[in-house]
Amino acid sequence: MATQARAIPTERDAQQRDPFDLVARFAPLIILIGLVVAMSFVSEGFRSPINLFNVLRQISFTGILAVGMTFVILTAGIDLSVGSMVAFCGVVAASVAKGSRSLIEGGVTDPGGVRVLLAALAAIGIGLAIGLFQGTLIGKLGIPAFIVTLGGLGAWRGATLLWTGGQPISSFSDDFKKAGQGFVLGFGDFRGVPIPVVVFLLFVIAGHIVLKYTQYGRWIYALGGNPEASRLSGLNTTLLTISVYVISGFCAGVTAFLLTSRLNSAEQVAGQNFELDAIAAVVIGGTSLFGGQGGVIGTCIGAILIGVLKNALVIMNVSPYYQPIVIGAIIVLSVYVDQVAKKRRRA
């Protein structure tokens, strides 16, 4: 019997023996390294620290959203409303900073100091509240996540327009702008690392620790792998489902404050298509749309890959109209590879 047991290959053994599965798992990293090496030869400006940090800063906003989206997709859910949440949370933060939502004149600045902290807390609080509301509709009432968040995509964008009357809220104090435009860890001629990049990396580290080394993370994987089995085993699947949308809302609130600070303006079009880039980063990073498989490190690689790809297309003077075509093709290819890998593992 022992001999027979040893003769039966485990799923991990099958994955290690299957070259296709190995390539599928590390494809985003392989493509990213290849793209960076190729562009380093094509353009000297690409490998300059200034350009690389600019790429990281550009992807940090959608990257933070993608961390929250990873939790959602791991449960086989989806959140299409994060871009609109960023816009709405951003105008709320701007209004709190200036003391009134009617202060939309460009020349009126906020007083700075503690008002900036209140603005950040307002953005995060609104994000948490929206996440809780949408999560309750999905987890408690059983409304499909696609429908709830699709409705949120339009509703929160409309709420942003109503709040501001269609006008941007701009011109903030240096204290307010520091979060999105400032640097840390600078020395000598090196300005330092952009603050949004640091925040993004902290979110990646925290998300990875939570998913891989906590009981809550194991529950999330279990819920995405088999919801009914998770419920029968005693897990509170309703509360777990709500929690991932709260996390997504929290990420949207943080992103909203950083983006408003970076742009020195809260605009109605802020966060437009951010949901697509966030989902793309998660899927390209190897997280299955069917739940139960993936992680935040892969999402980080996916987000960086998208940022480097967009930057490469700009450097090569490729029309920006091609960017969504290329990214869309990569998403479809990533899902196809994931499906093929799963079928090979079952076989």
Which pLDDT score is estimated for 192?
84
- pLDDT of the chain, 347 residues: tens digit per residue: 444 444 444 455 555 556 766 666 777 888 888 888 888 888 878 888 888 888 999 999 999 999 999 999 999 999 999 999 999 999 999 999 988 544 445 556 778 889 999 999 999 999 999 999 999 999 999 999 999 999 999 999 999 999 988 888 888 999 999 999 999 887 766 778 899 999 999 999 999 999 999 999 999 999 999 999 998 999 999 999 999 999 999 999 999 999 999 999 998 899 998 999 999 999 989 898 888 889 999 999 999 999 998 888 888 888 888 878 887 887 787 777 777 776 776 66
- What percent of the chain has pLDDT above 90? 54
CB 145 within 8 A of CB 153: no
- The domain ranges of the chain are 21-346
CATH of domain 21-346: 1.10.3470
pTM for the predicted model, two decimal places = 0.89
Residues 6+ apart with CB under 8 A from 83: 65, 153, 271, 272, 273, 274, 275, 276
Q: What is the CA radius of gyration of the chain?
A: 21
Query: pLDDT tens digit string along 293-302?
Result: 899 999 999 9
